[in-house]
Amino acid sequence: MKDINELVAKLKMVLKKEDKEEAFETTIKEIEKYYKENLRLDNYEVAIFLANEEKTILSFACPEYLVNSGMIPVSSTEAFTASIFRSGRNIIENNFQQQKHLGIFEIIRTPEGKILPIWKMIGAAIEVENERIGVIEISRRGVSVEDAGEDFTEKNLLFLEKTINILAPFIKKVMPENFRGKIT
């Protein structure tokens, strides 16, 4: 398991050496990589959403192929992401396809041309000093539920909650003002 302290040290260096746009992109990529390695995830199974200044819209910061795909209104009653953001309650859902949810982003083809529905998910609010700035969702995707792999556990959710609280200040420091999708 990759140590969170290694990532924190790396992100501190990123803040010192790069301009804000580069620091933002590097920070998001390093956080995505950290969760992929520690939770044994495939490509596109880490999603980070960030809120605009008014806290009315959530936009993808990753995965990269979804950054310009659209936004989720915080008021949406069908998006798990919006629900997590509004309530601050973290979730674990191992029967995701059986739940009412906003599935529009699941039918966007990956860069490899695949459609990979989300079957299982854990999600947590991203908060800094009692200010909610976004949501992180970790999913298991695949053509079928069998393809998606093992269920998430309470231990996985606790890991996500603990680590995103450590990483959230780094995201906030490099987050572009009024973030809305791709900044380059």
Which tens digit of pLDDT belongs to each residue from 145-174? 777 789 999 999 999 999 999 999 999 999
Indicate the DSSP class of residue 97: G
89: phi > 0 → left, psi -120 to 50 → alpha, else beta; which? beta
CA 49 from chain center: how many Å? 5
Q: What is the mean pLDDT of the chain?
A: 87
- Bridge partners of residue 57, in order along the sequence: 73
28 pLDDT above the threshold of 90: yes
5 pLDDT above the threshold of 90: yes
Confidence band, pLDDT 50/70/90 cuts, at residue 78: confident
Q: Which domains does the chain have, with CATH numbers?
A: 4-174 (3.30.450.40)
184 pLDDT above the threshold of 50: no
Give the pLDDT score at 97.
62
34 pLDDT above the threshold of 80: yes
